[in-house]
Amino acid sequence: MTRFLPAPALALLAALPLWLSDYGLGLMIGMVTYVTLASAWALFSGHTRYVSLATVAFYGTGAYTVAVLNEALPYPLVLLCAGGIGAAMALVVGLSTLRLAGVYFVIFTFGLAELVRQLITWYEVNVTGTLGRYIFLDVTAKGIYWQMLGLGALTIGLTAWIHRHRLGLALRVIGDDEVVAAHSGINLARTKLIAFTLSATIITLAGAIASPRWVYVEPSIVFNPTVSFLTVIMALLGGANRLWGPLLGAVPLFLLFEWLSVDFPDTYPIFLGLLFIGVVFAFPNGVLAGVESLRHRLKERRA
């Protein structure tokens, strides 16, 4: 029964813009974007427990690619380029760090967004001489919403498929014990690299699709570290190793952050930090796992 639920839900979501106001549609775009980001993040980091802090490095790269190429190439080709650049970046990061212990990967991704931001700023100031670009694309808000919805559905579908596939099994073993994984014949580096590249490509595409909303793009705008931060906390809250966990975390947190950033613009990062620490302490495996273990305990008490 629940297996067939996603299709009508997706159709309903796709029809939503017919009734929504502009504000509502903007809110939905943001929400679907974060669901996509959190799900894509969990695709790699959920099972392997390799914490990637570079979400915005890829997201911003996607947006910036559109800003650079939007007048030179037709839109589908621009998206293709963005995806390609994201995948290439992920391969470079992955090839240099994923063969090593997890902490090297974390450190590399931690500084990656800042590095890309500084490099682009340097390039724009010194070589092209213009910092900041405009995106003039013939894409409506509805168009962005539908594209993002499609990407989100694709991400969750891909995750579901990977969960049942050899790749998902391999990722789970790696997350549990790398030594065991290596001994059972799993190619550690290749498995991690495939999953990380998939995840990073989706994130880059999300940035590319969302970029026309900005109109004006500058490195300091698109490489906002809060995006990385929100993505991680959303996936963690729902449960990063569950199919629907990231979605479950992203929806309430997105609404909460929208409200906080409007009503408390100055103290907003403090709330974020506290909430993040709270999630790490209270729901180490996510809400879904927490609910499950609670149900389990109740059942045991009854028996």
Which residues contribute to the site for another protein (CB under 8 A)? 49, 51, 53, 96-97, 100, 102-104, 106-108, 110-111, 114-115, 118-119, 121-122, 125-126, 225, 229, 232-233, 236, 266-277, 279-281, 284
Nearest distance in Å: CB 199, another protein: 17
Instruction: Dig out the tokens for 89 from the structure.
Output: 């970046």
Nearest distance in Å: CB 64, another protein: 17
What is the Cα–Cα distance from 55 to 61, expressed in whole angstroms?
10
Cβ density class 249-265: b for 16+ within 10 Å, e for less: bbbebbeebeebeeeee
Considering the complex, state which of residue 255 and residue 277 has its C-beta at the smaller distance from another protein: 277
Considering the complex, state which of residue 103 and residue 291 has its C-beta at the smaller distance from another protein: 103
Query: Tokens 């890309």 sit at which residue?
Result: 116
Considering the complex, state which of residue 71 and residue 176 has its C-beta at the smaller distance from another protein: 176
- φ, ψ of residue 133 to 5 degrees: the values are -135, 160
> Shortest CA distance to 35 belongs to which of 250, 233, 227?
250
Considering the complex, state which of residue 22 and residue 266 has its C-beta at the smaller distance from another protein: 266
Nearest distance in Å: CB 119, another protein: 6
Answer whether 222's CB lies under 8 Å from 207's CB.
yes
What is the Cα–Cα distance from 41 to 44, expressed in whole angstroms?
6
Considering the complex, state which of residue 50 and residue 145 has its C-beta at the smaller distance from another protein: 50
Nearest distance in Å: CB 96, another protein: 5
Instruction: Dig out the tokens for 117 from the structure.
Output: 């931001």
Contacts of 15 (CB under 8 A, 6+ apart): none
What is the Cα–Cα distance from 90 to 84, expressed in whole angstroms?
10
Considering the complex, state which of residue 185 and residue 265 has its C-beta at the smaller distance from another protein: 265
Nearest distance in Å: CB 230, another protein: 10
**Alpha carbon distances (Å) from 186 to 148, 156, 160:** 34, 24, 21
Nearest distance in Å: CB 288, another protein: 17
Residue type present at position 270 = I
Nearest distance in Å: CB 152, another protein: 24
Considering the complex, state which of residue 115 and residue 255 has its C-beta at the smaller distance from another protein: 115
- φ, ψ of residue 217 to 5 degrees: the values are -125, 135
